[in-house]
Amino acid sequence: MRILHTMLRIGHLERSIAFYRDVLGMQVLRRRDYPEGRFTLVFMGYQPEQEAAVIELTYNWDVSSYALGNGYGHIALEVENASAYCEDVRAKGGKVTREAGPMKHGDTIIAFIEDPDGYKIELIQRPH
């Protein structure tokens, strides 16, 4: 068994695709509209779905925002240099919510950014 994907409900399809593609460097792996159900599914990732877990963006055509609640945590991405990645995200119009630095009670370098819908994404610096 393996993890296939994490699903996020989004309020603006093209804005979210642009963020995950242009800011985080993911590719659109597949996209399908379901007119009868009035929703669209877009699967995005760094590798084909057969090789790695991906993100499923679910866009319900009649909903423009969601309450995130307090049960959701974050998506985590491994990066070479968290500080440089934050600068790149900021330069591309992304929102950095915690600058790169050691995690509390540890020495792993982390940072946090947000996608356009407010979902948290943790950047974890690859150990050298």
List residues with catalytic annotation. 122
Which burial class, exposed, middle or buried, applies to 32 when counting CB atoms under 10 A from its CB (0-12, 13-18, 19+)?
A: exposed
| Cα distance between residue 33 and residue 95, in whole Å | 29
